[in-house]
Amino acid sequence: MQVERRQYVAELFRNRFGSEPQLWARAPGRVDLMGSHTDYNLGYVLTLPISRDTWMAVRKSGTRTVQLHAANLNEDDSFSLDAIEKTSSRKWSNYIRGVASVLQAEGLQTDGFDAVIHSTVPLEAGLSSSAALECVTAVVFRELGGWTMAAKTMATLCQRAENVFVGVNCGILDQYSSCLGEAECALLLDCRDLSTRTVRIADGISVVICNTVSPRQLSGSEYALRRADCERGAAILGVGSLREVPIEVLAARRSELPEQVAKRCEFIVAESARAASLASALEAGNRELVALLCAESFEGARDLYEITSPSMLAMNRAMQQAPGVIGSRQAGAGFGGCMVAFVDAQSTDDFRTNVVETYLKSTGLRPEVYPVGAATGATIFEP
Ligand code: GLA
């Protein structure tokens, strides 16, 4: 697989730019195992940088221009490093432009290059294809510029590129996961101080992505509304973020909050606590607890945070009745896209066949279902 992918990308590079690439970089997507929307509330999230990634095959051009070919979309773009502007015709290019612009604002050297981009992270499916693109770009500029940077700083700068340049007010989860992954491990991330604990999932439990293949409608506008509800809740409760609100305090002061805000806050405070609990449950291989936490998370996403969609409800039903399922829940921002299941490792093939059949029957859509492993963070590599 890796050899074929390398040959494919190298050939595209030769066709496009007339030579071999000099440098290869990669950055993974991620799936959140627990902790929907907790990151911008400075809570906990359990994240898995996944074995699906974005590659860049690169050659330094010696100019001030970045020339790009996006293999998955068969699109080209180029821009000058001396006048970086947003483009509306190649949205994906803004992630690269944004990173270049933020690195320049930090006073870091940015050099022109030619690159072919190829990703196995499904695009716009809630697995952070955009963060993978940002982080692989940062690694390329770092390598070409000959400077160094801690992975955490890089994650923060890539988040800034998305917040300020692209204009999406996301939290730190995606970029952090893509920059700081460790082989074999999930990460329990504390979004308040950006510390992590590595979490080794017990043998016998597989993580399986179930892509509803339904577009994530509303995710942009509704994301901002959820964030605003949480900020309103924090303001009424007199704290800087919901992280500072213990469950008992929220219960005691619930009546001070408008009903919708109260529901959002209830979900976030419980979801953040569940992230830490799931980390321990997965390490211990406590399948009953994994099942319970996932069920609570999904119900909260549906009834309190209201980020599910009809396709997600159909997918959750399909996952729940499939052989080998341990637990299942939403992933990413919600509103369609991918979901995640914990499955008995012996049963992943049966699980997959069964989920595809059931979901296809109930929705008419053929889902993508595949197990994923843990991946290391963004790096230069030799494929
Ligand atoms: C998107 C955002 C993240 C995070 C998740 C929800 O992926 O980019 O920052 O808020 O949604 O957990």
> How many Cβ atoms are within 10 Å of 245's Cβ, its own excluded?
21
pLDDT of 219 strictly over 80: no
Determine the distance separating the centroid of ligand 1 and the alpha carbon of 127, expressed in angstroms.
Answer: 10
Say if CB 378 and CB 133 are below 8 A apart.
no
Determine the distance separating the centroid of ligand 1 and the alpha carbon of 227, expressed in angstroms.
Answer: 10
Q: What is the pLDDT of residues 5-52, one digit of tens each?
A: 999 999 999 999 999 999 999 999 999 999 999 999 999 999 999 999
| Nearest ligand 1 atom, CA 32 | 12
Whether 314 lines ligand 1, by a CB cut-off of 6 Å, is no
Q: How high is the mean pLDDT of the chain?
A: 97
Q: What is the pLDDT of residues 299-315, one digit of tens each?
A: 999 999 999 999 999 99
pLDDT for 183 equals: 87
User: Residue 65 and residue 79: Cα distance in Å, rounded?
Assistant: 6
Sign of CA dihedral 37, 39, 43, 46: positive
Name the residue with the closest Cα to ligand 1, atom 5.
Answer: 333
Whether 174 lines ligand 1, by a CB cut-off of 6 Å, is yes
Whether 170 lines ligand 1, by a CB cut-off of 6 Å, is yes
Bridge partners (DSSP) of residue 66 are 79, 113
SS3 163: helix
174 is catalytic: yes
Whether 134 lines ligand 1, by a CB cut-off of 6 Å, is no
End-to-end CA distance of the chain: 11
SS3 296: helix
Whether 46 lines ligand 1, by a CB cut-off of 6 Å, is no
- For residue 227, what are its two tokens? 């964030």
Q: What is the pLDDT of residues 178-218, one digit of tens each?
A: 999 988 999 999 999 999 999 999 999 999 999 999 977 76
The one catalytic residue among 174, 190, 193, 350: 174
| Nearest ligand 1 atom, CA 36 | 12
